[in-house]
Chain A
């Protein structure tokens, strides 16, 4: 994905992508095994992450090449989804995933750079985009003009002022290879995002900051991938607003703020897995 590395650009948008249902199953297994939280946030992210990693040169990420594409998951509580997706792209092993949230593991409940392939530790919100902007500036200064720098943000997270500081600079610098992707799942920590600070329509906010806005169904992997390819080939700073459902695929968790915190017990795990299989209990 870069012009300045030994790794040639690959037609990654043609790559066969993981099945979102399979990724969601992996997430459920991880969360159930560890009794961990953040189910809702992880489920809304799945297609976004599949599309993003699908657009990246995975071999360059694995080799940690200087000109690699970069993925910053700023909503660090999406760790289970991030690690599950990385697993389905061959960046993490089954054994690695089995340690999630466990004693001695490097796979914490927030995304950690201790895990090979992860660019940056996040967890406190509003940190990922400034770092992604810095990486994009650095990449451009180094001549890695074609590498993409993704940053996944939550729609609650973008209440942080540092996000808008970063957007201002990104727009001013015309960082056309930086792609912020908002997981617009409409629920923040304890309630609906619109009840906390209503920023709808989000497209106006980003448009006002000088970004071309690509608003897509965030559970349509192809739509997200198409938006990425459009951005890749145009000369304009751009953002993807991916409209999603928090807890997507797990009916009892969909749109329910409590599933930001609640962990799965035996019964809810069985119910969730059955729903994903298309055979609801």
Chain B
């Protein structure tokens, strides 16, 4: 997906002279062509991310549209106050490109597990957050962001998943009945679709834009289901689970929401790949099905309603 976004970036830099690319010394074999083609609009800010975000704000002050790239944890966690004060407060339309979302850097350990990034961003006013689930959407996300005049964070997962007809903010894959609805984004959208292959009565709703969520769309979908499971590689309490709980409460929708997400803890036991963490946390297709139907069975046994 990253490659598609950079293809789009180079194309846009050709016809939009206000775009200025900034990297925190990341992107080997990826960013070099930008430096060659647009040396006046390329900056390697070095391993100094706080400064990099301030510099991006300054580039906006000078009339540019900066696109800032590095690994998501360096981009968000290290620079939270700079994003808050220098970008969000000023409404500067900086584009934040953060890679290695979720467990993409799995064996590198918890400093590189990016499972609490966009929840922090979500707490700031005026920043759109996108989490492409497919190469199809990744190809167009930059155009969507550049068409707006707000700051945006694009949370990029590794890999090149293909999902047919997924070049929309919301991708709806209804199941064979109105069984549980899986709501997801980014890398785990693919796991949800695999889960649907295992159980055709599961419905899947993929959100390529996760902040702000489209309340009208959510209302429409959640109202059709008794249960929804929010599947995400991010802490639920500040992630999409939180957003959906808020929507359900505010809109009075009769739908029980369950979080399928990493526990609120740092995992010090190495996993060799993201798949390991998905299995460990029941975030893979098999685990998702188990969560969807085991909880449903349990609820029926104890006589709970659908809440």
* Chain A residues within 8 Å of B, Cβ to Cβ: 66, 70, 113, 119-124, 126-127, 129-139, 141-142, 144, 161-162, 165-166, 168-169, 172
Which of B56, B60, B82 interacts with A127 by CB under 8 Å? B82
Q: Which of A113, A124, A162, A168: most chain B Cβ within 10 A?
A: A162
Least Cβ distance of A229 to chain B in Å?
Answer: 24
* Nearest 9 CB-CB pairings of A with B: A134-B58, A130-B54, A138-B62, A134-B55, A165-B51, A165-B48, A135-B58, A131-B58, A162-B50
Which of A70, A130, A133 interacts with B82 by CB under 8 Å? A130
Contact (Cβ within 8 A) B45 A169: yes
**Chain A residues near B54 (CB, 8 Å)?**
127, 129-131, 133-134, 162, 166
Least Cβ distance of B157 to chain A in Å?
Answer: 29
Q: List 9 A-B contacts (CB under 8 A).
A: A70-B61, A133-B54, A133-B55, A138-B63, A141-B40, A161-B50, A165-B51, A169-B48, A169-B55
Contact (Cβ within 8 A) A113 B53: no
Least Cβ distance of A65 to chain B in Å?
Answer: 11
Instruction: List residues 84-109 of chain B with CB under 8 A from any CB of chain A.
Output: 85-86, 89-90
**On chain B, which size bracket covers the interface?**
20 to 34
Known: A137-B58, A137-B59. A131 touches B46 (CB 8 A): no
Contact (Cβ within 8 A) B57 A120: yes
Contact (Cβ within 8 A) B63 A132: no
Contact (Cβ within 8 A) A113 B48: no
Contact (Cβ within 8 A) B51 A121: no
Is the contact region of chain B dominated by helix, strand, or loop, or is it mixed? helix
Contact (Cβ within 8 A) A133 B40: no
Which of B48, B62, B81 interacts with A135 by CB under 8 Å? B62
Which of B61, B64, B81, B86 interacts with A141 by CB under 8 Å? B64
Known: A129-B54, A165-B50. A135 touches B43 (CB 8 A): no
Query: How does the 8 Å CB contact mask read for B192-210 relative to A, with 1 for contact and 0 for none?
Result: 0000000000000000000
Residue of A nearest to B39 (CB): A141
**Chain A residues near B43 (CB, 8 Å)?**
137
Query: How does the 8 Å CB contact mask read for B142-159 relative to A, with 1 for contact and 0 for none?
Result: 000000000000000000
Contact (Cβ within 8 A) B48 A168: yes
Least Cβ distance of B52 to chain A in Å?
Answer: 8
Give Cα A131 to B87, complex, Å. 10
Contact (Cβ within 8 A) B61 A134: yes
State whether the Cβ of B277 lies closer than 8 Å to any Cβ in chain A: no
**Chain B residues near A119 (CB, 8 Å)?**
61
Residue of A nearest to B66 (CB): A134
Contact (Cβ within 8 A) B53 A130: yes
Given A120-B57, A135-B58, 11 extra CB contacts under 8 A: A66-B63, A70-B61, A126-B50, A134-B55, A134-B59, A135-B59, A138-B20, A141-B41, A162-B51, A165-B48, A168-B46
Contact (Cβ within 8 A) B62 A131: no
**Chain A residues near B89 (CB, 8 Å)?**
113, 121
**Chain A residues near B66 (CB, 8 Å)?**
134
Contact (Cβ within 8 A) A132 B85: no
Query: How does the 8 Å CB contact mask read for B31-42 relative to A, with 1 for contact and 0 for none?
Result: 000000000110
Give Cα A133 to B56, complex, Å. 9
Contact (Cβ within 8 A) B53 A121: no
Least Cβ distance of B242 to chain A in Å?
Answer: 26
**Chain A residues near B55 (CB, 8 Å)?**
130-131, 133-134, 137, 166, 169
Give Cα A133 to B81, complex, Å. 18
Give Cα A127 to B53, complex, Å. 10
